[in-house]
Structures are given as C-alpha cells and as structure tokens.
Amino acid sequence: MRGDAAGGGGSPYFFLSYAHTPRNDAGDTDPNVWVKKLYDGLCAHIMQMTDLPRGARAGFLDQGMAVGTRWTDELSENLARCKVFVPLYSPRYFISEQCGREWWAFSQRQISHRARGGAAREHAIIPALWVPVEPVQLPYAARDLQFNHVSFGQDYAEEGFYGLTKLRYLRDEYERALYRLAKQIVHVARVTELDEGRMYDEYESLPSAFGASGHPPEFDITVLACTRSDLPPGREPDCYGPLPRDWNPYHPASARPLGEHAADLVRTMDYKVNIGDFEKDADRLLGPGPPRAPGLLLLDRWALGSARGRELLERLCEEQRPWISVMIPRCEDDAGPAREKRLTALTERALAARMTEGSGHRTLNGGIRTLDAFGNELQTAVKQAVASYEAHARTYPPTGPRMAPPRLRGPGDLGG
C-alpha cells in the first residue's frame, strides 16, 4: 500500500485511519478521494498552526496499493511515531480488521505511557465522523473515548464529514469542523507527548481493537499476591499495597498496579474486563460447571510462601481450568540465590499439572522480567485462555420442542 505524508523525516502530527470504500464498478471514480481532500485540509491547517518547517510531516494517510513496497512496515512505522491517532468513524470502519489493527497498535503506546507515569486520562486518539455511527455499534475501545462531537458543530455531529462534503449548503460547516479538528490535533499533540512505540515485524498478525467475531464479551483478571501487611521477612514493600490487586512488580519502571495495566491491554481486544482478588473470587472461579469467562491469573511467587496461596494455585491446576492462563511477573532482583531457589521450587511444584498439553497457559523460564515482556506474553495468554473457554463453555440450543429433520421419500417430495 502507498502512504501519503508530507515529505521529510520526523514524526507526523497525526495518522488518519479510515476504511477504504470499494468502487462499485471498475470505471467509477475513486470513492476515497473525499477522504484525501479531508486529509489535505487538515495538513494545510496544521502547517499554519505550528512551526513545522517546509517538507515536515504534518500527517499520514494510507491510500492504496503500490507494487514493490513493504506497506505494513510503513504503517507500523507511522503508527509508532505519530503524535495523534484520528480514526474516521463509519459503519464500514468498525468491521475492518485493518482499522482495528491500526487502533490496537497505537493504543499500546497510550497504555505504556500511562503505565510509566503518564496522566491516566490523557487521550491521543481523536475520533472524527465520516458517517455517524450509532453508539450501540461502537466497540468498547470507541465507547471509552466519550468524545463530544457537537463541539465541532451540530451539523457535523448529525451528518459527519461525508454529509458536509456532499451538501453544498453546509460548506461553511465543513470548513468549521475541519478547522476545529486540526486545532484539536495540534493541542493534543502538544499536551500528551507520547514516546515512540514499537515497530512490529509481524504487523499483519496483530489483534484488532474491535475484537474477533463471536468472541466472549467478558474477561476476568485476578491477582494472587502479597499485601504490605503479610509480607515475608526481608521482602521489600515497594511493590505492594493494602490489597493484592495493588501489586506492582515492575516498580519503579511502572507507576500503576499490574492488574490495571493488564486490564487496559485486554480492553484493547474489545473485552469488558473484571479485575479481582483470586483468593476472594476462588469459589466462583474454581467452582464446578462450565466457565463463565476466560481469564488471567497474575501470580506473585512470594504468595506461595503461605499455605493458602499454595492450596489455591494447586487447586486451579488440579481441577483443570485451562481457560484461566497463569502469568508470573517478577523483578530482576526478586530474591537472593537461596530464596530464588526456594521460590522456583514452590512455583514449579504448584504448577506441575500445567506442563501437560491442553492444561492451560503458564509462564515459563522463571518469570516475566520486564513490563514490555509482560505485554508480549499477555497476547499469547489471552488467546489460549479464550480458545480453552470456547472449547469448554456451555452451548445453548434453541428453545422449544425438538423437531425431527424432514425426510424425502421419493421424487414426489421434491414438489415435481
């Protein structure tokens, strides 16, 4: 695919993400020409509103196929470097796997920013309306933004940019909304200051922020960890709080409890996330019957120093709950050599049943040592939990009396 950006290096102010509208007929004019007009107008305003030099990158727009280019590399690079992400809403947008992938890749930068101490409510995603979409059609990622589209004009909120483009009497409203969107892009770019993100080698394998068709709507994240009041002797309290879910093993690199960070990551896959305490929720999670939702267990190895912690983990593994993936975060200086050996032995003993195929995901190699590594493993852990959930969940056949399938006895039954 061929991208369009103002020439020169550096970071584009915005990435305009949109669903390509196909031609009805090979001879038709490109229906996406109006999106290009919108993009050009935004770039022109941003050049006026900023001190960008000639040739600098005001924006990025993916425009279509171009033979011989690595378009996924170009998309990934611009998603990793742009200051603001602008999804162009339309009914087609939220069924596009490509658009969902773009949203997911950018959202990882916001989540990383918050985890490392950025403001919790800063959003570098500014939604724009191409064609207004009913709220019930929005995935969780879009519903969470709660953007006030009327601030760009009432006609814009009702018609979107496509309607303002096509209705000549609303030309002034088009220019008003275009100007205000450009102004908002510049403002957000200045106040958020996101770090550059990761450029993905396997871009096409990334998940969609809009979820997969038919996936379960909810996801459980539970924490089995110590608190400041029950730490073993010699254990530093910096990573702990009053509750197990306050556990932050990557302190000081991360400023947030790991359960909240994990929930942000899972929400970008279009799940409603429930965060809980594994000990308090054990009866519900480990009770008999089919699973209610797939889930993750975030395990603090130090919690296995208590008989209750060991009992809960062994129960999870022995009763075969493969739809609950077990992740084991840890710090580099988690323990001295003697304690490290004991913690490893406790963990391996408690998780021994998870070494067989189909028993569920568990962290290997002694634990997850960095926040970035945690994010990488979480994708695999979620996929395996969901696959196991779908294999074990109860199915509900249609209500009503069972009807036998029709039987054909001869040619006359075909209506001939």
What angle (nearest 5°) sits at the alpha carbon of residue 377, between those of residues 372 and 380? 145
| CATH number (domain holding residue 276) | 3.40.50.2300
Q: Indicate if 265 and 186 belong to the same structural domain.
A: no
**CA distance linking residue 177 with residue 28, whole number of Å:** 28
pLDDT of residue 287: 87
**CA distance linking residue 158 with residue 135, whole number of Å:** 13
pLDDT of residue 337: 82
More confident residue, 414 or 391: 391
User: Within a domain: residue 407?
Assistant: no
Q: Indicate if 241 and 197 belong to the same structural domain.
A: no
Q: Indicate if 116 and 240 belong to the same structural domain.
A: no
Q: Indicate if 166 and 256 belong to the same structural domain.
A: no
Q: Indicate if 197 and 230 belong to the same structural domain.
A: no
Distance of CA 363 to the CA centre of its chain: 21
User: Within a domain: residue 414?
Assistant: no
User: Within a domain: residue 400?
Assistant: no
pLDDT of residue 413: 46
Q: Indicate if 24 and 163 belong to the same structural domain.
A: yes
User: Within a domain: residue 212?
Assistant: no
User: Within a domain: residue 413?
Assistant: no
**CA distance linking residue 42 with residue 52, whole number of Å:** 14
Q: 157, 172, 205 — which closes off a domain?
A: 205
User: Within a domain: residue 405?
Assistant: no
Q: Indicate if 39 and 140 belong to the same structural domain.
A: yes
Q: 171, 205, 239 — which closes off a domain?
A: 205
Query: Does residue 224 carry a pLDDT above 90?
Result: yes
Domain count, the chain: 2
Among candidates 62, 31, 32, 59, which has minimal Cα distance to 45?
59
Judging by beta carbons within 10 Å of its beta carbon (0-12, 13-18, 19+), is residue 189 exposed, middle or buried?
A: buried
Q: How many CB atoms lie within 10 A of CB 77?
A: 18
User: Within a domain: residue 226?
Assistant: yes
pLDDT of residue 6: 45
| CATH number (domain holding residue 117) | 3.40.50.10140
In this prediction, residues 373-389 reach a mean pLDDT of: 95
Q: Indicate if 241 and 107 belong to the same structural domain.
A: no
Quote the domain boundaries for residue 288: 218-392
Q: Indicate if 201 and 223 belong to the same structural domain.
A: no
Q: Indicate if 230 and 291 belong to the same structural domain.
A: yes
The string of pLDDT tens digits covering residues 122-165 is 689 999 999 999 998 899 889 888 899 999 999 999 999 999 99
More confident residue, 236 or 4: 236
pLDDT band at 3 (very low <50, low <70, confident <90, very high): low
The string of pLDDT tens digits covering residues 100-114 is 999 999 999 999 998
DSSP string, 49-94: HS-PPTT---EEEEEE--TT--HHHHHHHHHHH-SEEEEEE-TTGG
Residue with tokens 């006359």: 412
Query: Does residue 65 carry a pLDDT above 50?
Result: no
The string of pLDDT tens digits covering residues 298-337 is 999 999 999 999 999 989 988 889 999 999 998 766 677 8
**CA distance linking residue 379 with residue 363, whole number of Å:** 12
Pairing of strands 14-17, 59-64: parallel
In this prediction, residues 84-89 reach a mean pLDDT of: 98
pLDDT of residue 407: 52
Q: Indicate if 194 and 235 belong to the same structural domain.
A: no
**CA distance linking residue 315 with residue 278, whole number of Å:** 12
Distance of CA 239 to the CA centre of its chain: 25
pLDDT of residue 395: 56
Q: Are 304 and 367 in contact (CB under 8 A)?
A: no
The reported pTM is: 0.81
Among candidates 199, 195, 185, 14, which has minimal Cα distance to 117?
195
Query: Does residue 179 carry a pLDDT above 80?
Result: yes
Judging by beta carbons within 10 Å of its beta carbon (0-12, 13-18, 19+), is residue 233 exposed, middle or buried?
A: exposed
User: Within a domain: residue 411?
Assistant: no
Contacts 24+ apart (CB under 8 A), 304-307: 304/343, 304/346, 304/347, 304/350, 305/232, 305/346, 306/230
**CA distance linking residue 16 with residue 84, whole number of Å:** 9
Give percent above pLDDT 90 in the chain.
63
pLDDT of residue 402: 52
Q: Indicate if 291 and 162 belong to the same structural domain.
A: no
Q: 205, 231, 255 — which closes off a domain?
A: 205
In this prediction, residues 387-398 reach a mean pLDDT of: 75
